Structure 1
Amino acid sequence: MRNLDEYPFEIRPLTPEEGGGFLISYPDFSECISDGETVEEAIANGREALEGMIEALEFFERPVPLPSSGGVASGKFVTRVPKTTHAHLTTRAKSEGVSLNTLVLAFIAEGLGRRGPQA
């Protein structure tokens, strides 16, 4: 089984005209998109869509793209935070039933969505 976490994705807020919520897409799979009411839901739904896309490609014996890095960013960074911040994030993630990484990613995506596209 492939590591789905290696595939980069993009999340953007949907406008009210588009139905609201968040849209997730995978640059390595032009037809693989999903959405959700929240960033967390969009990520979970997107992961299911990606898994289904890969299974379909394998079933029909089509090539499955390798995860890209978008040419520039690796999709990974490490940062140190104060112990109290880490404890608050861990508690919040546990109460919401998500991983710490998913929670932090959701906060980042929400923050970027509020700021809008940057040049």
Structure 2
Amino acid sequence: MKTLNQKNQQIEKPSLEYYLNLQYPVTLYPDPEEGYVAQIKDLPGCLTQGETLEETMANLNEARELWIETAYEADDNIPLPSSNDSYSGKLLLGMPKSLHRRLAETSEREGVSLNQYIVSLLSAVT
């Protein structure tokens, strides 16, 4: 599919596959009624929830794909992921004590630090 730029020149629009393979930053919130809410702020209205972290991330991936496919088919603008330049790689995260305990116990069984275990979980679902 071709589009026109500001100088009325035809340019090739990236493929749907290109947009689906972009890695968007995810924001996770603990849900006060148990579970999680996840959001991709770069894609307005792209958010979901789930009872477990795994369910929430699976739901968010499905929501992201549907958001991008719908925007692509409507020829709407699909924002690129926000830059990592303003992120330090560190984050303070609050979570329920029971989740903290389960994560710490599992990381100990796996023989890795809690931080390393959480990063591996998040990497697997994003």
Q: For this structure pair, what is the TM-score category when the shorter chain's length is used for normalisation? A: 0.5 to 0.7
**Partner residue, 1:3:** 21
Q: Report deviation, 1:71.
A: 5.2
Asked if 2 retains the 8 angstrom alpha-carbon contact of 1:40 and 1:103, the reply is no
> Sequence identity of aligned pairs in percent?
34
Q: Report deviation, 1:74.
A: 7.3
Distance 1:28 1:102 in 2: 22
Query: Which runs of structure 1 show a deviation greater than 3 angstroms over 4 or more consecutive aligned residues?
Result: 100-103
Distance 1:104 1:39 in 2: 9
Give the structure with higher Rg (CA). Answer: 2
Q: Report deviation, 1:101.
A: 8.1
Q: Report deviation, 1:32.
A: 0.4
Describe the SS at the equivalent of 1:29.
coil
Is the aligned partner of 1:14 residue 2:31?
yes
Name the structure where helix makes up a greater proportion of residues: 1
Gaps of 5+ in 1: 76-84, 90-99, 107-119
Q: RMSD over aligned Cα, in angstroms?
A: 3.1
Letter in 1 for 2:32: T
**Partner residue, 1:66:** 80
TM (norm. structure 1) is: 0.58
Is the aligned partner of 1:42 residue 2:56?
yes
TM (norm. structure 2) is: 0.55
Corresponding residue pairs, total? 84
Distance 1:54 1:101 in 2: 28
* Higher relative contact order, chain-length normalized (CA < 8 Å, sep 6+): 1
Gaps of 5+ in 2: 1-16, 90-106, 112-116
Q: Where do 1:1-119 residues align within 5 Å?
A: 1=17, 2-4=20-22, 6-16=23-33, 20-69=34-83, 72-73=86-87, 88=110, 103-105=120-122
Letter in 2 for 1:21: G
> CA 1:8–1:74 in structure 2 vs 1: closer, same or farther (change >3 Å)?
farther
